[in-house]
Amino acid sequence: MFLKRLISGVVLLLILLLFNYLGGTALFLLMAALSLKGLYEFYNATGIAKKKALLLTGFIFGLIYSLCLYFRNFLSYDPKLPVIICFLIVAGAVFVFAFPKYTATELFTTFFGMAYTVVTLQFVYLTRELSFGRWVVWLIYISSWGCDTCAYCAGRLFGKHKLAPVLSPHKSVEGAIGGVLGSSLIGALYGLACANFTDLTFDLVWIFAIVCGVGAIISQIGDLTASGIKRNFNIKDYGRLIPGHGGVLDRFDSVIITAPIIYYLALFML
């Protein structure tokens, strides 16, 4: 099990290294595929996958939202909010005209699922598209997966106080603090490397340390949110796409909520 998890993790990392390096269309297609797969995993876990009209509505607008992001430079306005509003209206129409076939909870879940997966995960692509995105995009992974690794090590060594005893009994306060500090340290080292080997002129060490520290806090919320959803619906994993890890949402549970934060922090601080 450990070997399978290790091998698939290395393969995933290599794929991300390649696509994040390429950026542009290649990264867009990867993020679109992952976000739509994540959307299906969410709908399958919550039972929306059995509600064909709601499932179809979510997928159509997930695809429209992704395409609008890709072609946004050809438009005279930001398409994200209009697409989300149209999605809300159409999903509401499906609910109304099929009433009482679908419940209000299913309507809310359909809308939340698209925002939770497609909207958030596409911020990886949007971050990479920034003028300095080829360097900043890696802060998303440092804040999420770097935090996860550091939190695990700190928790094993120093963990005594439970962070969320009911939801995730193995996570500790000490582990959470270690994850934030570890991510900040990795971010600072990465900032030092970027300062020495790139033409970026910002004070990258402190900026990257702060961004990764904030991102690490958010990533742990994302991790626990995904765990809470699984607990509510009595599932172990969202899927089986990544051997030893589970589905897209199992592996990217912290990335999807961290990516938007890193994007806006980068806009604000760089």
Q: Give 242's strand partners.
A: 246
Largest CA distance in the chain: 62
Alpha helices in 115-203 (DSSP H): 120-121, 123-128, 133-136, 138-141, 147-158, 173-197
* Average pLDDT value for the chain: 93
* The residue type at 73: N
> Stretch 145-150: mean pLDDT, rounded?
94
Q: Summarize the chain as % helix, strand, coil (round to 5).
A: 75, 5, 20
pLDDT digits (tens, 9 = 90+) for 102-112: 999 999 999 99
Q: What is the pLDDT of residues 192-246, one digit of tens each?
A: 999 888 777 678 899 999 999 999 999 999 999 999 999 999 999 999 898 888 9
Domains in the chain: how many in total? Answer: 1
Q: What is the pLDDT of residues 35-64, one digit of tens each?
A: 999 999 999 999 999 999 999 999 999 999
Helix H or strand E encompassing 257:
helix 255-269
Domain that holds residue 213: 2-269
158: tokens are: 């120093």
- Checking if the pLDDT of 2 tops 70, the result is no
pTM score: 0.94
Query: Taking 90 as the threshold, does the pLDDT of residue 76 lie above it?
Result: no
